[in-house]
Structure 1
Amino acid sequence: MTSLPEELLLLALDDETGSVHSDAIGLGLAGAQLVELALGGHVVLEGGRLHASAGDRTDDPLLNAALADIATNGKPAKPSAWLSSRGRGMVSAYGARLAEAGLVKHQKSKTLGVITTHRYPATDTSVKAEVRARLDAVVAQRGGAPDPRTEALASLVHAIGLARRLYGGRDGAGARKELRALAEGDWAARAVSREIAKATAAITAAVAAAAVTAAAGSS
């Protein structure tokens, strides 16, 4: 069975080009790790902070790394604070896992001979189709209450801005509304959304400052 982070990455990948359709996928994958750990009883959210027992283990090396980071982080951290330090390297880690499973092919290239680009075009879309079918059932409110993992997946899809890609246009408005409602009730999705908002604000401020400096230099 694929893990929640793997399912989220599959949904974010373009099957043909292998590019990722979300600038916030790293934070989303870290958020998916938190959900997996919480559903497995390895992490508890108490008083708005993450708690984990030192020495606790799962059968997943990537989740174990996240779990160890939570357990040995000293003072229990707020989910958004923990996420802010975990986004980097997530796509590579889970992209490699999908490639090992034969679901994607890892392609690496260089732009201008300097910037390395990683892409993951699909080689087997059967698992992604099953994940998408589960997500479609949730947003269409079919089959009663969704299972916790699929509900969390739906929430994270909204949190990382993937909803409009998967359910675009006027026809997808109802699906996007359902995803937003799910995300508002999910603590991991809310934490991811807060970190995305902070990152966006920081980028906007940097661009504005650069523009002011450039204007001052030309006057």
Structure 2
Amino acid sequence: MTSLPEDLLLLALDDESGTAPSGPLDLGLAGAELAELALGGHLVLRDGRLHAQADGRTGDPLLDAVLTELARKPVKPSAWLSSRRKGMVAAYGTRLTETGLVTHQRSRAFGVLTTHRYPAADTSVKAGVRARLDAVATRQTEPDARTAALGSLVHAAGLARRLYGGRDGADARKTLRALAEGDWASRAVSREVAKATAAISASVAAAVAVSAAAGS
């Protein structure tokens, strides 16, 4: 069975181009790690801080690395997420490549910028994940804990409109938003996404102001 971070990345990736939205997705994957560990009983949120269970090991190197770090010192979810804004797509893209669900394509733009794409190689797992999420988003079935966590993370990472766009997807987006409001990991991701978006907006506004001043 794939983990929550793997499921989230599969849903985010375009099957043909192998691209995924950047920025918030890294935060979403980090939040999915926390949710996966919490579901497995390896991590608890107590007094507003993340506490790793003393005997916790999952057998998954990526998740166990998280447990090792959190075992050193309990931290607030926001502090943990803010330290993991980059590299999550690459880490789990590599995982999906190793398991044969995607292929990894690397290219260079202008001879400097390296881009990574992960086109689908086997869509059967993603189809199953999407079917379970669709059933919950359209209220055909009550969500189990794992699918509820996935749905809430889809909302928190800004993927709901991509998966359920337009007027037809409005009810599904509303359902996922309600799930996110009741999940601590997703609420933490949403707050960090909002802060990151505000910072980007401020940077853009400052750049525009400088450009306008230079041109006047």
TM-score (normalised: structure 2):
0.95
Matched position secondary structure for 1:109: strand
User: Which of 120, 124, 137 is the matching residue for 1:139?
Assistant: 137
Pairwise CA distance, 1:140 = 1.6
2:44·2:53 contact (CA, 8 Å) conserved in 1?
A: no
Q: Which runs of 5+ in 2 are unaligned?
A: none
1:18·1:122 contact (CA, 8 Å) conserved in 2?
A: yes
Equivalent residues in 2 for 1:151-170, closer than 5 Å: 151-170=148-167
Does structure 1 residue 215 correspond to structure 2 residue 212?
A: yes
The CA deviation string for residues 53-102 of structure 1, in whole angstroms up to 9 with x for no partner, is: 45632210000111112111x3x211111111113211111111111111
Residue matched to 1:174: 171
The CA deviation string for residues 27-70 of structure 1, in whole angstroms up to 9 with x for no partner, is: 11110000111111111101221111456322100001111121
Residue matched to 2:67: 67
2:103·2:119 contact (CA, 8 Å) conserved in 1?
A: yes
The whole-number CA distance in structure 2 between the counterparts of 1:19 and 1:98 is 14
Give the letter aligned to residue 9 of structure 1: L
The share of aligned pairs that are identical, in percent, is 71
2:23·2:85 contact (CA, 8 Å) conserved in 1?
A: no
**Aligned pair in 2 of structure 1 residues 212, 22: CA closer, same or farther (>3 Å)?**
closer
Give the letter aligned to residue 58 of structure 1: T
Does structure 1 residue 186 correspond to structure 2 residue 179?
A: no
The whole-number CA distance in structure 2 between the counterparts of 1:98 and 1:161 is 21
1:21·1:165 contact (CA, 8 Å) conserved in 2?
A: no
The whole-number CA distance in structure 2 between the counterparts of 1:215 and 1:172 is 40
The whole-number CA distance in structure 2 between the counterparts of 1:134 and 1:22 is 24
TM-score (normalised: structure 1):
0.94
The whole-number CA distance in structure 2 between the counterparts of 1:195 and 1:100 is 30
Between 87-96 and 124-133, the greater mean CA deviation after superposition: 87-96
1:83·1:192 contact (CA, 8 Å) conserved in 2?
A: yes
The whole-number CA distance in structure 2 between the counterparts of 1:178 and 1:22 is 24
**Aligned pair in 2 of structure 1 residues 201, 84: CA closer, same or farther (>3 Å)?**
same
* Pairwise CA RMSD: 1.3
1:54·1:68 contact (CA, 8 Å) conserved in 2?
A: no
The whole-number CA distance in structure 1 between the counterparts of 2:165 and 2:215 is 42
Does structure 1 residue 79 correspond to structure 2 residue 104?
A: no
Equivalent residues in 2 for 1:16-95, closer than 5 Å: 16-21=16-21, 23-53=23-53, 56-72=56-72, 74=73, 76-95=74-93
Residue matched to 1:204: 201
1:163·1:176 contact (CA, 8 Å) conserved in 2?
A: yes
User: Which of 119, 123, 126 is the matching residue for 1:125?
Assistant: 123
Matched position secondary structure for 2:10: helix
